[in-house]
Each structure stands twice: as structure tokens, then as C-alpha cells.
Structure 1
């Protein structure tokens, strides 16, 4: 009977430690998300599973082209975490016209787009402490061109890699 109780206690401790580690890792280091929409097609497919870095990305500035997870800005009408690509950085002047994104007067190359945007937006200057994000599926993405800037404090992480499905496993380009 004593051996039986010891085994139960050991398993109980093991389960608690595993749960605490899992909770700590997901809360502070990395997290995962399943992508429920097609706003990032063709880069991210429906139901792709992504791993996000929640800590180490803060060691260097976010770059144009980074794919981030963030809390939807107030007034956006969105209630879930979102995944989009950073297009505009703090201080940039951004405009969408002629099917292209123009940053500080120059058209940028966007080889990841599903199709050119069929709307016009801006010109608008991005304030300090904020980013402008778009989906790669520009014409079917509810993003900054609809609800505005993402405050830096809303950014929860940067995509590290896609882990599912296995045939597309790896870093997102």
C-alpha cells in the first residue's frame, strides 16, 4: 500500500510540474495559434498552426515584413488575437494607390501578395509607438486599412515557424 501511495504522489507531482512548466512557457516565452481565416493567403493557409516568440523578438526592432500576433485594437470590432504582416513602421508615411503600397514616396516590392490591393488608402503618417499591418490577401483582409494602427503594446509575439501541416513545416518567408 505504501508503494502505491508513493507512486500516486510521484505522478501527481510530475503532472503539477508539467502543468506549471507548460503554463509558464505559453504565458511568457512561446505560444501557438491556429489560423482561422484566409487573410494571410498565400503565405499562411487556413488551419495552419504557428509558433510565436513572445520574448526574444523584443531584443531587436520589428521590421517591415515581419508577421506578428497581436490583440485587436480597440474599436476594430475584432475580439480574437490576429496575425498580420507589418507594412508600416513608426514615422513612415504610407499610401496604397495604383495597386501598390508606397512608403515615404517609394513603391515597395511585395512578392508574398495573393493579388494587388484594389483599394486606395492614405497617405497617412504612422505615429511613434504604432505599426500598420496588412494581410497578404489584401482584398480579403480586415486589417489596418479598415481599423487603423496597432499600438506597440498590443503586439504579443512574432511568428517563429509553422509546425503544421508537416509538409509546410518551417520558417515563414
Structure 2
């Protein structure tokens, strides 16, 4: 089973919140009354922990409820404002490297209910060229990150390593031929600059030929077509299909750290906005 941190955090928020509520309604009034009835000098000699233990307040309840505020803050920030992710694969090279730590704008595509991911307050529409984090359609417990290439109603074609949208070839220019690349395949690649509706970004194409990544698609309403910038080393909508709107989690906008492994030194030299 995949590690679903969002679900675990939501459960922690509910459990600590219930503990806080029970203490506030049941035990807090009793403690307050006891403190009023006690001798002022005795009250002055009690530390904060001793005061909390008055009225036979269960120790477990106090321990659990003590985490409520910090859990609530983290849960709120991750659910509605900004969520951090780490890049686990090379599918978005050269834009995002394995080990990049990124920030995702959670309200870019609407304020959504945690876990359920249902939009409750619409904000902006997804745009072609956005780098998007979404729930993997095949297994929603997994988070994927790709570039949004196709909007609802678009006709997408990918043949001979060229991308075509609605009958028009996407502009690209060759920047460099690299003898090898810093991806898991360690193979020669061509580095291109691609323009998606005014969004310029870099892509890799290898010299290999994979017919499975070629085809023609029409994007259904309420869905999006995603592709990795590492075009020949990306499992994306060409392989597993379209991404429903309700699976979108947010737009990746900033790299704040790179840490490739536990035995390496974190780096901040390539921090910056994601193009």
C-alpha cells in the first residue's frame, strides 16, 4: 500500500481535534472550578502541568490534544496554501531533477476539500504549459508531476518526436546535443527549447524510438493531457490516459532545495521559479 501522507495528516487532525474538544468541554471547566476553589497560595505553587492534571484529566488525552494546534497549522497550510513535494524520478528532466524539493500552490486551481479533493471555491483555470501535481489516475494514492499539454477538447498528436496540438506543430528549437544526460538512463539526448502558448521550457529527446509513446488523442471535457519534459523517459498521458479535473492538486512553482540522497549535501544553488 502506498504511503498516503495527506490521509494520515487528516486522520491526525481529526483525532487531535476530538481530544482537544473533549478536554475543552469536559475537563477544562472542572479544572477552572477547582482552581477557583483552591487556596491561592496552593495554586501559585502548581506548575502548568500540575494544573492540567487537575480534575483527573486523563494523561493520554492531554498528550494527544497537545499536538492539535501544530497539526492544525500544518494540515491547513498543506491543504489550502502550499504543499512541499520531492521529485522521485527523471521524467521531468531537465526542468526538475531527481531530488529537487518543490513547492506547490494548492489554491491555484481552486480551494479543495482535503483528501476528497473536491473544489469548493473556484479560482483559476489550468493553463497549457503549467507544471502540475495531480493524483495518478490509475492509483489516486500516488502523486505525479507532469507538464499540462492538452486542455479539454484539444487534439494532441505525437509522432517522430514532434508534438502537435490542434493541427499545429509546437515550436521548438535545438539548443544542444548532449553526449549523456543526468537521468537514470545515462544516454545521449538532444536538448530543446519548446514553446507552449508562450511558456518556454526545456525538453529532452533521446535517440531511441518507442512507438508506444506515439499516437493521436482527443482530450475529453473535464480532463487534461499531461507529458513529461523528458519525452522518451516519461510514463504520462501517452501511456495511461487523461487526468480528470478532480485529480489536480496544484501548480508547482518553486524549487527550494536539491538533495539527491541521504549521503549527499543539500544544495540551494539552483533554487528558483519553475518554468
TM-score, normalised with respect to structure 2: 0.56
Deviates more, 1:62-71 or 1:161-170: 161-170
Counterpart CA distance in 1 for 2:51 and 2:167 is 69
Q: How far off its partner does 1:28 sit? A: 2.5
2:158 corresponds to which residue?
Answer: 96
2:86 corresponds to which residue?
Answer: 34
1:83 corresponds to which residue?
Answer: 145
Counterpart CA distance in 1 for 2:254 and 2:203 is 19
Match of 1:62 among 126, 145, 149: 126
Q: How far off its partner does 1:161 sit? A: 0.8
The 3-state SS of whatever aligns with 1:84 is strand
- Higher-Rg structure is 2
Counterpart CA distance in 2 for 1:8 and 1:138 is 59
Counterpart CA distance in 2 for 1:80 and 1:136 is 20
Matches within 5 A, 1:19-168: 19-58=71-110, 59-74=123-138, 80-109=142-171, 110=194, 111-115=201-205, 118=209, 119=211, 121-165=214-258, 166-168=268-270
Aligned length, in residue pairs: 170
Counterpart CA distance in 2 for 1:164 and 1:65 is 23
Counterpart CA distance in 2 for 1:28 and 1:133 is 23
Q: How far off its partner does 1:56 sit? A: 3.1
Cα distance, 1:163–1:7 mapped onto 2, change above 3 Å: farther
Q: C-alpha deviations, 1:106-142, integer Å up to 9, x for none?
A: 1113241112694463322111101000101111111
Q: C-alpha deviations, 1:18-59, integer Å up to 9, x for none?
A: 221111211232211111100000000001011111113332
Q: How far off its partner does 1:7 sit? A: 10
Kindly indicate whether structure 1 or structure 2 has the higher relative contact order, using CA contacts under 8 Å at least 6 residues apart. Answer: 1
Counterpart CA distance in 1 for 2:136 and 2:252 is 16
Counterpart CA distance in 1 for 2:108 and 2:155 is 28
**Any conservation in 1 of the 2:228–2:236 contact (CA below 8 Å)?**
yes
Cα distance, 1:100–1:30 mapped onto 2, change above 3 Å: same
Counterpart CA distance in 1 for 2:126 and 2:77 is 22
Kindly indicate whether residue 47 of structure 2 is the aligned counterpart of residue 3 of structure 1: yes
- Unaligned 5+ segments in structure 1 are none
Q: How far off its partner does 1:3 sit? A: 3.4
Q: How far off its partner does 1:79 sit? A: 5.2
**Superposition CA RMSD, Å:** 2.6
Counterpart CA distance in 2 for 1:21 and 1:13 is 14
